[in-house]
Amino acid sequence: MDIAKEEVKGMEKGLDELLNSYRGKVEELIPILQRIQAEFGYLPEDAMLKVAEFVGLPEAHVYGVASFYDRFHLKPMGKNVCRICKSTACQMHGASRLIEEARKHLHIEEGDTTPDLNWTLETVECIGMCALAPCIVVNRHVVGRMTPEKLIRLLEAAERGEG
């Protein structure tokens, strides 16, 4: 059996165990999706199909909930995540340059993950630190007054495991 099949088999077993801790009620949908994401790092399509059947909802409804909330991810996320604020305040202070620099450095587009699953690049509407614009979040570290040069140093430090 190849590695991909082993991975799917392991995922199915883990999903079955996870679902066994619920009753299959519609109101459990979001908590179930949260647990799946915590377990697998994202919401695999097969898992959402199984959840739809488990709680008795159409597949489109489960997908709609998963795609509505920005905390749910429909694709695997990178080990490191760079989020760049693109609010009006951050845009006025150079967020577009930061996005472009991150795209070049990571060799991915906004919303994508590197093939080695090391990085995910996202843009967000607001980090809530407008007075320190432009702002970014690398992994869980919020940094304000960001410049393209500081951004590259921060990304390289995260790649080395320094933050």
pTM of the model: 0.78
pLDDT tens string, the chain, 163 residues long: the values are 443 445 556 678 889 999 999 999 999 999 999 999 999 889 999 999 999 999 999 999 999 999 999 889 999 999 999 999 999 999 999 999 999 999 999 999 999 999 999 999 999 999 999 999 999 999 999 999 999 999 999 999 999 998 7
Tokens representing residue 146 in the block: 């960001």
**Residue 38 contacts residue 21 (beta carbons within 8 Å):** no
| H and E: helices and strands count for the chain | 7, 4
| Tokens 């060799």 -> residue | 107
What is the rounded distance in angstroms from the CA atom of residue 48 to the CA atom of residue 59?
A: 7
* CA dist list (Å): 143 to 53, 95, 136, 146: 42, 13, 5, 7
Tokens representing residue 17 in the block: 């165990």
